[in-house]
Structure 1
């Protein structure tokens, strides 16, 4: 990551590209920016186009055409992923995309400069960097506990292995740290945090289903936030949460505040019959 960080207006997309560009390429065009991860065509948000403003009339055709043009050299990229760099704007004209089979992702982008303990810290939870191959393997298993995987298992399982492997390479390169949350020696949660130019971005915050609603997530995010502010040169912490999920409430409970909005449109590949 020696090249200058891509200067999106959106903190969410700026830090997304900051991380994903380690294994991919960021190519600026006149009308959009292409993020590509050649090693993983099934990585939806690692192969996408980012446009400068929200979609308007005719963009449901134009944006999809531009995606296919930009990824014409990569036939194994079978999805279509689109975003727009408008952190404070509205959704724009998404209805034609939805009618064409896209799903809309709506995220809250939360930031903090300081944090405080959660209302229910979990006593006995050990939060520390991963130390062994076995602990990284446990992270893979934890991320495969999803009851509703976003892709067929024959695609999703190898993707998770590759995805966790990419994060491990990032930590080996000294660009961030992956933390595990351990209770009586068992991995019950994990997350990564990566920092550049004073901006630290959380990644893949996960709690084992058997240990949710016990304070694992809040305790883990609080402790890692303190670490990033004290030891990683971070002055701004960034974390992204699905608007419709419970995570945002937990992040706000330790001091994060809603700062921006992030929208994206994704059309997944049609399953083979």
Structure 2
């Protein structure tokens, strides 16, 4: 199976760069990240569109067969139009649907309201304090997950990203105000012209100050100039106010990405 959607093609690109193993089963791909087994979207199944004409329960059973030790369920559907099973069928399987917009750009405009106080830069690969700050920022919003386990997942992912940066395949960027990292994101590439943003995050107390858009613009310029990226890919929540800002900067909607998930039970 060859992924058709740009969103999932770049997801797979990042997964492989971060140590994931991808197995091809013909009508679905099996993604495993041995170095980070608790990372749900590093251990999932990506199904082709033919599964949409079959019972969703069959695909859930396939996930369990491929990931027998996983307590979570994480399934992607390779498509561009957002088609998914009916709400009743999804609910009967105990899953939730996450819809995101895949956006692309070949050049970017400066944000309308840049933050003049932010110092934006790529983290220094040999600066442990930079990377510890990035882990802390991205582990704050752990949702319903155990805080310690979630931080461990973030730490493992950040270690892999640091290795990617050392290999010259992109980098992790931070916006600093008063020396504190208040916004962060990654931009990585496989060296073939495609670049994908990862995990745009801003400290809750520093949101709506133009920090993320300022950092996205800075990272885009660096990626296009220094990493030979020709096409920038961003996956964004359609209900997040940030998507309007990304559009104003030159990112255009190109696809709808579907993910189905059941979080692992919490104590």
TM range, normalised to the smaller chain?
over 0.9
User: Do the aligned partners of 1:54 and 1:89 also contact (CA within 8 Å) in 2?
Assistant: no
TM-score normalised according to structure 1 size? 0.90
User: Would you say the 8 A contact 2:37–2:43 is kept in 1?
Assistant: yes
Cα RMSD of the aligned pairs, angstroms, is 1.7
TM-score (norm 2): 0.92
Matched with 2:84 is 91
In the alignment, the residues of structure 1 paired with residue 251 and residue 113 of structure 2 have an alpha-carbon distance, to the nearest angstrom, of 16
2:156 matched to which residue of 1?
Answer: 162
Q: Report the number of matched residues.
A: 263
Where structure 1 has 5 or more consecutive residues not aligned to the other structure, the ranges are 1-5
Offset from partner CA, 1:64-120 (integer Å, 9 cap, x none): 111122123xx2x21111111111242243531223211111101111111111110
Match of 1:18 in 2: 13
What's the CA shift for 1:62?
0.8
Q: Which runs of 5+ in 2 are unaligned?
A: none
Alignment of 1:197-216 (within 5 A): 197-216=192-211
Which residue is equivalent to 2:178?
Answer: 184
Moved more, 46-55 or 253-262: 46-55
Name segments (4+ residues, structure 1) moved above 3 Å.
Answer: 54-58, 92-95
Name 1:106's counterpart in structure 2: 99
Q: 2-side partners of 1:169 and 1:269: how far apart? A: 29
Given that residues 56 and 93 in structure 1 are in contact (C-alpha distance below 8 angstroms), is that contact kept between their aligned partners in structure 2?
Answer: no
Residue 126 (1) aligns with residue 122 (2): no
Structure 2 counterpart of 1:253, from 248, 258, 262 = 248
Can you list the C-alpha shifts for 1:203-240, whole angstroms capped at 9, x where unaligned?
Answer: 11111112111110111111111111122111110000
Comparing 256-265 with 182-191, greater Cα deviation is found at 182-191
